[in-house]
Amino acid sequence: MIKAIAVDMDGTFLNTNKTYDEERFERIFKQLKARNIKLIAASGNQYAKLKSIFGERDMYFVAENGAVIYEGHNLYDYQAFDRDFYQQVIDYLNIEQGVNNLIICGLSSAYILKENTEAFKKDAHFYYRQLEEIDSLQDLPKDDYVKIAFNINRETHPTLDQDLKKHFNGKLETVSSGHDSIDIIIPGITKGQALKRLLNIWQLDAANLMAFGDANNDLDMLQLAKHSYVMENSEDEMLFEVANHVAPSNDNQGVLSVIETEVLNKSL
């Protein structure tokens, strides 16, 4: 029986315009709560961004690709990089590779350079509600750092994601949330790993979990869940091999449709 549902955001729960049918969702959410089915937003996004999407609803948030877990307003668990190692990665990208458009993801806030372009800043502010501009990437504010986010320019840095793994000898991992949008994460700290931690706490197993995703950073989440759904609009062929089912596209409210049909209208 389904006891927990994990949903990715961009390309999965949210439509192309980054919105969702709030009235329909509210009806579904109330029914899930009545049946004691836990809802988890599992995303590469910042916790503050996820809260801005769902408001004050009593649900769980797996943010920053699994590094941060919240229950409502309460910090449930988090995993941070070693500070010295994190700075080494920043210096490699910024100084050795000349990459300035980095989003430095801390537990308290995200950070970007003041010198970044207005277009980059606008984009960063959309995805990171708690965001500060700083003077230098070599003098980071005091924080616990959980992720680095950036877009790879394949013309100037065609193999940067591979170069990172080789240079740091497996001490970091890269995942994609779509196209050349790359997140640098702690090895083993993923959406799927975060969901495993929650299932253990709740004394549930993979047979009780339904999950929806569309991109590379959803892979181990879909591998974990017995009731796994890749979105019809996904461009990641691997997910179609891993997932047990295909959900209608995000623009056709695929997540809500499956929950209504397969969870609320029948017993699994």
- CATH number (domain holding residue 111): 3.30.1240.10
Please give the C-alpha separations between residue 159 and each of 165, 180, 187, in angstroms, as whole numbers: 10, 11, 19
Q: What is the 3-state secondary structure (H, E, C) of 44-110?
A: CCCHHHHHHHHCCCCCEEEEHHHCEEEECCEEEEECCCCHHHHHHHHHHHHHHCCCCCCEEEECCCE
Q: Do 51 and 103 lie in a common domain?
A: no
Given 185, 220, 250, which residue is the final one in a domain?
185
The domain boundary, picked from 147, 167, 185, lies at 185
Residue 254 has pLDDT above 60, yes or no: yes
Could you tell me if 199 and 232 lie in one domain? yes
pLDDT digits (tens, 9 = 90+) for 163-221: 999 999 989 999 887 678 899 999 999 999 999 999 999 999 999 999 999 999 999 99
User: Mean per-residue pLDDT for 104-114?
Assistant: 97
Contact in structure between 7 and 20 (CB atoms under 8 Å): no
Question: For 72-96, how does the pLDDT look when each residue is reduced to its tens digit (9 = 90+)?
Answer: 999 999 999 999 999 999 999 999 9
Q: Which residue among the candidates 8, 183, 218, 220 is catalytic per the annotation?
A: 8
What is the extent of the structural domain holding 163?
83-185
Using pLDDT thresholds of 50, 70 and 90, give the confidence band for residue 267: low
10 noted as active-site residue: no
- What's the domain count of the chain? 2
Q: Is the pLDDT of residue 244 over 80?
A: yes
pLDDT higher than 60, residue 268: no
Distance CA 27, CA 30 (A): 5
Report the CATH number at residue 71.
Answer: 3.40.50.1000
For the cut 70, the answer to whether the pLDDT of residue 222 exceeds it is: yes
Rounded to an integer, what distance in angstroms lies between the CA atom of residue 67 and that of residue 234?
Answer: 24
